Structure 1
Amino acid sequence: MSSPSLLSLTYAAQEVNIYLRSIILIFGVTSNILNIIVFLSLEIFRDSSCAFYLLVMSFISIIQIFFGLFARTLNVAFSVDWSTTSLTYCKLRYYFFQVCSAIFYTCIALATIDQYLATCSSPFLQRFSNIKLARWLFVIFTIIWIMHGIPILYYYNQDISNSTNATICTITNDTFQQYYSYFTLIILLCSMPVIITVLFGILAYRNVQHLTYRTMPLVRRETDKQLTIMVLVQDVYNLFFIIPYIVVYALQLNLNINLDPIYAAQIELALSITGALYYVPFSSAFYIYVCVSERFRRQFLYVLFKLHLGRCRQDFARNQILPDT
């Protein structure tokens, strides 16, 4: 018989999965759509390699939210799990989860490196911060991550759970399970992005301290400063949501929680919370940029009210049919 503590922990985990993920889902879709509108509307961002990475991250985040966050929320809230009824969706869901996560964290790492290069005093290093190179790097890394994710399409299959006797979508190869859990998730998708962004973030921050004293066009200097602050704050912000997930996920992999149902439920609750918060970096970029950059706030208001709403009003007035007099 289940104890009250066990039932409470299980209920808490379910509530977290429903409400916390739903909130992140709503704010995440809104955040990325607004980012896309701003970055595509202003020429100063269209010509920036760093802004290109941030724009790509917004598109990737929407895909990631759909295949990861939205699918999980449907499963917990409404018991709708397409991965148990469709083998194709079972494979594609986890394939896109890995590929999109890898591209997202690659782009944030490249954006951090790009701002380090853009703010360097060396003209030689500054030349590597350009939109053409950024596009090529994006294509190259995208191909790499697409190829790296191919084994998921083979090893993820529908199987019968030993504990519930229900159909689940899971990895059916023990060797690949170890590779995926320890190397792909913990190292490639969590630890490496943290290390790279922290290292180049510190270097970029040091460069920005001396940016005011360098001879360069004012618009370029202000844009570099703005993008550097936006990226660095996002890097720090992401750490608070990636590291807890790494720790809890590693605990679940290495500790024998089957002997104590209460402890297993506690780990499951912690994993529900950190697993939901893992999607915050995919959902919060716009709000970070608005909070830390006054210039971005002005740009957003200009794009929203001057460009798009103003254009809509003009089109509406132009298309109105005047009454006969």
Structure 2
Amino acid sequence: MSSSIATTILFVSKEFALYGYFIILISGVIGNIGNILVFTCYKIFRRNQCAFYLIAETITDCCLLLVALPFRISELAFALDLTRTSLIWCKLKAMISYTSTLITFSAICFAAIDQYLSTNYHPWLRQLSTVKLAHRLVYSSIIIWIVYGSMFLIFFEIQPTAGCTIYNVDFARYFSFFHYIMLTGMIPISVSSIFSLLAYLNVRRIVQMRMIVVRRKLDKQLTAMVLTKVVFLVCTILPSIIFRIYILNVTVDPNDTVRIAIHQLVSNIAYALFYINPAVVYFLFV
């Protein structure tokens, strides 16, 4: 009885992941291309630092979706997993995926901080929000995270039992507790949430500031966009963090097939939510 229940749950999990990832991939690529066109074609966004952060995030999101999801879909649909057969792709996929995620989250944090600065009542803080600084921060973060991501080229390996993953115990512990939970979880969520809320509070009293009407409207629009993005980020990232913490603190009996199947289903739902985050930015902004 339990085996049939487990089989059913695994089937549902696989079908959900297959069709869910496919929809996320198609809508995400189309949406991100739409975002890039909007931010680059409209003159009002071209020389705006917050828009530059959003462009950087959008491009990175598109790369993340194109690297991560097509191969995951091929694995689910055709049982074809290149990361199990090609060591080079195993290492490269890990590096590109994790580096892209960190660049994306950095750009979101930069955008939230920038909106806090650009809408601030104090002129000296507003002066810190510049396109030049935006370029430096984005390019620096790209270099830093690429160097950081080179660690994955070293520690990701292929073994017949578990496939492409981290087998070094110390690095696996670091990856689970710091990289996954902190770097791609609590830190970007905390920073982006705090500064986007502060920017929102600034916008509420922006009428009192002596600013050009067009600039004032643009700041309101960009602050609303960033706040919406951050709220969605929190809602889509938190489930995977919570599930990761749960998995790290729970021991599952290998013979408990139903529980293993449930974990697989919850894992697919959590990771689908994770990839929804870079996929629906355009639809949030429309």
1:266 has 2:282 as partner: no
- Give the aligned CA root-mean-square deviation in angstroms: 1.2
The answer to whether residue 168 in structure 2 is matched with residue 173 in structure 1 is yes
- CA displacement, residues 172-229 of structure 1 (integer Å, 9 cap, x when unaligned): 2111111111110111001111111111121111101001221111111111110000
What's the CA shift for 1:257?
1.5
Matched, 1:241 2:242: no
The structure that has the greater radius of gyration is: 1
Match in the other structure for 1:128: 128
Q: List aligned pairs for 1:48-67, cutoff 5 A.
A: 48-67=48-67
SS in structure 1 of the partner of residue 210 of structure 2: coil
Matched with 2:272 is 276
Tell me how far apart the structure 1 counterparts of residues 43 and 130 of structure 2 sit (CA, whole Å). Answer: 15
Partner of 1:294: none
The whole-number CA distance in structure 2 between the counterparts of 1:115 and 1:251 is 35
Partners of 2:215 and 2:68 in 1: how far apart? Answer: 38
1:199 aligns with 2:194: yes
Runs of 5+ consecutive residues of structure 2 not aligned to the other structure: none
Deviations 1:239-266 (A, max 9, x none): 1110111111221222111342211211
Q: CA deviation at 1:2?
A: 6.1
> Deviation digits for residues 121-150 of structure 1, max 9, x if unmatched?
111000111111000011111111111111
Show CA shifts across 1:48-75 (max 9, x none). 0000010011110111001212221121
Superposition pairs of residues 89-100 of structure 1, within 5 angstroms = 89-100=89-100
Q: Is the 8 A contact 2:2 2:258 kept in 1?
A: no
Q: In the alignment, residue 55 of structure 2 is paired with which amino acid?
A: L
**1:24 corresponds to which residue?**
24
Q: CA deviation at 1:83?
A: 1.1
Identity of paired residues, percent?
A: 35
**Equivalent-residue separation in structure 2 for 1:70 and 1:107 (angstroms):** 24
Distance 1:282 1:21 in 2: 12
Distance 1:231 1:74 in 2: 34
Structure 1: segments with no counterpart, 5+ residues: 163-167, 291-325
1:174-323 → structure 2 map (5 Å cutoff): 174-259=169-254, 260-290=256-286
Alignment-derived partner of residue 81 in structure 1: 81
CA distance, structure 2, for counterparts of residue 254 and residue 160 of structure 1: 26
- Equivalent residue, structure 1, for 2:4: 4
